[in-house]
Amino acid sequence: MGAPLSAWPWENFGIYKYLLYGPFVAKVLCEWFYSEDHSYYNLSWCLHLLILSGLRGLIHVLWGSYTHMLFLTRNRRILQQGVDFKQIDKEWDWDNFLILQALVASMAGYMFPFLQHLPLWNVKGLLVALILHVGVSEPLYYWVHRKFHGDYLFTHYHSLHHSSPVPESFTAGNATLLEHLIMTVLIGIPILGASVMGYGSASMIYGYVLIFDFLRCLGHCNIEVIPHQLFETFPFLRYVIYTPTYHTLHHTDKDTNFCLFMPLFDALGNTLNKKSWQSHKILSSGSGNSDTVPHFVFLAHIVDVTSCMHVQFVFRSFASLPYTTRFFLLPGLPVAFLILLAMWAWSKTFLLSFYYLRGRLHQTWVVPRCGFQYFLPFATDGINKQIEEAILRADKIGVEVISLAALNKNESLNGGGKLFVDKHPNLRVRVVHGNTLTAAVILNEIPQDVKEVFLTGATSKLGRAIALYLCQKKVKVLMLTLSTDRFQRIQKEAPPEYQSYLVQVTKYQAAQNCKTWIVGKWITPREQYWAPRGTHFHQFVVPPILSFRKDCTYGDLAAMRLPEDVEGLGCCEYTMERGVVHACHAGGVVHSLQGWTHHEVGAIDVNRIDLVWEAALKHGLRPVSSKTHTVKEN
């Protein structure tokens, strides 16, 4: 049993907690269908509460989105660490207070019937609410907040709010039931007080509550948005409105800056942090974080229209889970498509996310191009220009390693990055395609007793490396290709005694008795039918093939789990599990941690596959599956 009023009554309801809005919806529908007057003055009190709850939630979501727009905010971030999965899960039910306050407000509407018949506008009400806020709510909150930092109340209640390492808009709602009951009273005093005096109005309620939430989110956004010049021009404003830096200092130094919105009360209570103004000036000017240079950059791209919404600045909670198509994404598809077209025309490579590994900053940059665009002949030059500019920018700022994602290293596009290395021979940043580790991951998924595999995409960079590696383990490789010339060139690369293990095939029928398929080129469900029952499909094709056969098993794209000491990671990489990244991303991480000084572009050096795999394991990266297999010589 926890402390009284520390848990939410609906904390075990999950998504079904939103059914608590059901009576509100039912009453609104009932009044709509059975009332002839649909004017403003006959609008249901419950309808106002539903609209207000929606707008309040939207304010928190929009602030959260802005916080994660790193391409706009990175130089004004207050705390540098990222928001990890643990914090996201802890704040998952941040909106409990919206349900609570809607329920309390509905009861208030029955206790004080005049609230249901307020005029639309009353200027005096806004003034009275402001006076009551400054004269009652602000000092009361300051006093209560200091009490909640006492031993008992902090341990049993307020510590939950302070358990989030990085404040965000959702952190503002992450508190216990008791704290939000008190907050409900603080919000209610100005509203009820102005209404009892006869100055209440709908605009006053909407305005006060939404501004209240806006300022709460402002204080918790971890981005300094208020210019220091404002306080230098009007010094008294420092005591009228707090800043994100001001409130973040309360989260880092818990004995100062207790105010709700007005630092005046901290000044009067002698709890104002002396670093508040100087820290604010440094961060608001953008000079506090401008020298942070990543050690490693993963240069990604957009996969498709729906998955482009799987990012933290759209839905933080959705991005923290592996990507799957959801119904709630459908209304956003037209907007997403228009934004993609606009990015095609005007956008440059931008910063998407980051994490820290052993004190080293790792970032993901995104080329603003969608998967289908990589297959448009007229788009090739523009894509290569974007990638080249990203590499040169990384080189200029001092990045050590930049790794190219799947389509950004396409052989037909730029030869696996070789185009840029040849064009700029003096690059200091090491360009890495990560294919060596990708090949290693696929090869270590193949069971030890396999004697024959069927390989599509057999003459690609990865297909070539896999074929050459397996043949030297005396595994027969059925290489699907129509090009005899390309097959023979690869075959001649193998030592003479192993060349017979490489066999060219031109039809899928040739693999009808082979239960190990390595898919490097997309295959249709019809082509999958040639695989015998019990076949396992390993794959390195983007996008992954459809899991069509119920009597077969399908492997995921090659990936590795980052070391356990990764910090600030709070988003999933496409369909990968939490903490798992594509092998080409992991290959760049290994290259950086090892301190290798060579580029990894063009063809894969088969002799380095085992070396790279061992280096990955040495640095704490692990395969995703619980079991791995090393192909032994048969």
Please report, rounded to a whole number, the percentage of residues in the chain having pLDDT higher than 70: 96
Residue 625: predicted pLDDT: 66
Residue 530: predicted pLDDT: 95
Q: What is the mean pLDDT of residues 491-495?
A: 96
* Number of C-beta neighbours around residue 234 at 10 A: 10
Does the structure show a pLDDT above 70 at 1? no
Residue 86: predicted pLDDT: 97
Mean predicted lDDT score pLDDT of the chain: 93
Residue 630: predicted pLDDT: 42
- Summarised one tens digit per residue, pLDDT across range 83-124 is 999 999 999 999 999 999 999 999 999 999 898 888 989 999
* Residue-wise burial string across 237-250, b where 16 or more C-beta atoms lie within 10 A, e elsewhere: ebbebbbbbbbbbb
Residue 350: predicted pLDDT: 96
* Number of C-beta neighbours around residue 318 at 10 A: 18
Q: What is the mean pLDDT of residues 326-340?
A: 90
Q: State the pLDDT confidence band at 631, using cuts at 50, 70 and 90.
A: very low
Helix, strand, coil share (%) of the chain residues, nearest 5: 55, 10, 35
For the ranges 31-40, 410-419, 441-450, the lowest mean pLDDT is seen at 31-40
Q: What is the mean pLDDT of residues 6-23?
A: 96
Residue 45: predicted pLDDT: 87
Residue 327: predicted pLDDT: 87
Does the structure show a pLDDT above 90 at 141? yes
| Lookup: tokens for 178 | 């008791």
| pTM confidence score | 0.92
Does the structure show a pLDDT above 50 at 588? yes
Q: Tell me the pairing of strands 476-480 and 452-456.
A: parallel
Does the structure show a pLDDT above 60 at 634? no
Euclidean distance between CA atoms 565 and 417, whole angstroms: 30
| Lookup: tokens for 620 | 């704490």
Residue 543: predicted pLDDT: 75
* Alpha helix stretches (DSSP H) within 228-368: 228-233, 244-252, 264-268, 276-284, 316-319, 333-346
Residue 628: predicted pLDDT: 39
Euclidean distance between CA atoms 454 and 559, whole angstroms: 21
Give the Cα-Cα-Cα angle 575, 408, 544 (nearest 5 degrees): 35
Q: State the pLDDT confidence band at 206, using cuts at 50, 70 and 90.
A: very high
Does the structure show a pLDDT above 80 at 632? no
Q: State the pLDDT confidence band at 626, using cuts at 50, 70 and 90.
A: very low
Length of the chain: 634
Does the structure show a pLDDT above 50 at 355? yes
| Lookup: tokens for 298 | 């993963």
Residue 37: predicted pLDDT: 63
Residue 343: predicted pLDDT: 92
Residue 33: predicted pLDDT: 82
Residue 627: predicted pLDDT: 40
Euclidean distance between CA atoms 392 and 390, whole angstroms: 6
Residue 392: predicted pLDDT: 98
